[in-house]
A and B are shown apart, each in its own frame.
Chain A
Amino acid sequence: MPKDAQPVIVTDELVAGYLPGVNILNGANIYANKGELIGIIGPNGAGKSTLLKAIFGQVQIRSGSVELHGKNITGLKANKLVSAGVAFVPQNNNVFPGLTVEENLQMGVFQKPKEFSSQLDVVIQIFSELKNRLGQKAGSLSGGERQMVAMSRALMMDPSVILLDEPSAGLSPMLQDSAFVRVSDINKTGVTTIMVEQNARRCLQICDRAYVLDQGKVAYSDTGRNLLVDPKVIELYLGSLGA
């Protein structure tokens, strides 16, 4: 992947938490270059989801900063972030169950409704299975299909960065694999992608670079391939099951 002079998104010593006085992130430093697929793995409570939520303004940032294309976006409200080009796919409750697939996608492009048709074409290219489901209520879809709708919706605004919180969570092995393939497909269209994952092995297999978060800080960072075979990482995070 061609490397630009400046990373698309950078966090600098991010400190954040939910409860007063308790920090989950203790100075997290990550960055992503244009078009990269970045993975974030680590033990429970390490702050992986918190990191994404902090970038997307859903958790109070206590110190540190986030920059997008060189501009400071720390603490910006979600609607401003979406127009700035950041998309977020949460782990749960990520579709409107009472709305059809098409309506969900329309919600995705809410800020620029005129772009709906052209963006819909782009999205159907990646998620062709959705073409026949446009009129179906999102709540009646299976878990894997809903995951697809959630990701598609995030893509409708043609974001420069997409943040995914555990896209494979709760899916059967076959659907997990297709979720990872889809994330890779999304990334191949040029969108810088950051994904938090608990299925560390699959995540590392497809990402360009990855960070291992532990206790709110980056403990290891390297290419996905190198981390996959690093004995320390295997011992502490990956485990040897399914090797």
Chain B
Amino acid sequence: MDFQSILFNAINEILSPTTAAYALAAMGLAVHFGYTGLLNFGQAAYMLVGSYGFAIATINGWPFFGAVAVSLTLSLILTVVLGIPTLRLRADYLAIVTIGAAEILRYVITTTGMTNVTGGAEGISGFKGTFEAMNPIPEGTYNLGTIIINEYDLWLRITGWSLVTLVALLLFLLMRSPWGRVLKGIREDEDAVRSLGKNVFVLKMQALAIGGVLGSLAGVLFVLPRAVQPGNYATTLTFFIWTILLLGGAATILGPILGAMTFWVLLSLTQGILFSLVDSGLIEFMTVTQVGQIRFMLVGLLLMLLVIYRPQGILGNKKEMSFGV
């Protein structure tokens, strides 16, 4: 067993751009659920809209920031479509509608009729050009200790994590403010907040929009190191993000970040160890391909254990969870 390679692979997950993307998506979900109590089970839809919006705009000649603007616009449209019918109703309705929306979008994107726009089941590639062009880092390879990467990857990591940091700061300001206070009230009892003169519907829409925009930005970040593939936006994605959110602490800002890092390190470690054990013959009841599937089982198990034994996650406040109010 190659312990160093297993360990290094795990450590590399900490600052990988994919981890940053998941952290962003989870921060969006934190705004939705952690702070406002909105049950969004379609964060994958926001990511999908962000990824495809950016990719399609870019391959059609749009400049980088223009393409990002397209992603954000699509995100806001999605918020309006999801929010207007459901936010006046009980929380459960938003949950149901978002699951449906995510799947509908995924199927629409994959249909053969849309293939010339969305690439159908094959997806889209070749949209990294504008981002690459902005890279100030000189060409070459860079040794980060546990991994050797090229200038594009380094540029991606720097921008990705800078974005995460910036968003964390903004959310911190937002949630400490009176606006954040009203949201916390809404999470607990909408009628109480209404009786104090606040327009609950508008506030929930704002929260949905902000969390959605973060999800779509995550979508852009997510595809920059890879191609856009519709298969990536299935419900599995949404539940990975939920697990990350609950693992880190739903109503915190650092929780989603810590959760994303912990999640991917854990997955990488278990996968690495299991793979080695199977490959070297020490475990016989599993094949190498099955190790990949184990991933999903483990995530499911982790999610269940969290909800049962530690719903506040790593950084969450036990007091906030101990009332059963």
Contact = CB atoms under 8 A, between A and B. Distances in A.
A19 interface: yes
A60 to B, nearest CB: 11
Contacts of A20: 318-319, 322
A125 B188 CA distance: 45
Nearest to B324: A18
Interface string A73-113: 00000000000000000000000000000000000000000
Contacts of A18: 322-323
Contacts of B318: 20
Nearest to A21: B319
A17 to B, nearest CB: 11
Interface string A5-47: 0000000000000111000000000000000000000000000
A97 to B, nearest CB: 20
Nearest to A22: B319
Which interface class (under 10, 10 to 19, 20 to 34, 35 or more) fits A?
under 10
Interface residues of B, number: 4
Contacts of B319: 19-20
Contacts of B322: 18-20
A19 B319 CA distance: 7
A20 B322 CA distance: 9
Interface string B283-325: 0000000000000000000000000000000000011001100
Contacts of A19: 319, 322
Nearest to B319: A19
Nearest to B318: A20
A19 B320 CA distance: 10
B65 to A, nearest CB: 49
A235 B319 CA distance: 36
A18 B318 CA distance: 13
B76 to A, nearest CB: 41
A18 B323 CA distance: 8
A19 to B, nearest CB: 7
A198 B318 CA distance: 32
A96 B247 CA distance: 37
Contacts of B323: 18
B161 to A, nearest CB: 36
A18 B322 CA distance: 9
B82 to A, nearest CB: 34
A243 B318 CA distance: 46
Interface in B163-208: none
A209 B322 CA distance: 36
A62 to B, nearest CB: 15
A221 to B, nearest CB: 32
B324 to A, nearest CB: 10
A109 to B, nearest CB: 29
A218 to B, nearest CB: 28
A19 B318 CA distance: 10
A18 B319 CA distance: 10
A19 B322 CA distance: 7
A20 B319 CA distance: 8
A20 B321 CA distance: 12
B192 to A, nearest CB: 18
B202 to A, nearest CB: 33
B321 to A, nearest CB: 11
B110 to A, nearest CB: 46
A211 to B, nearest CB: 28
A92 to B, nearest CB: 14
A20 B312 CA distance: 15
A216 B319 CA distance: 22
5 contacts: A18-B323, A19-B319, A19-B322, A20-B318, A20-B322
Interface of A: 18-20
Q: List 7 A-B pairs, minimum CB-CB distance, nearest first.
A: A19-B319, A19-B322, A20-B322, A20-B318, A20-B319, A18-B322, A18-B323
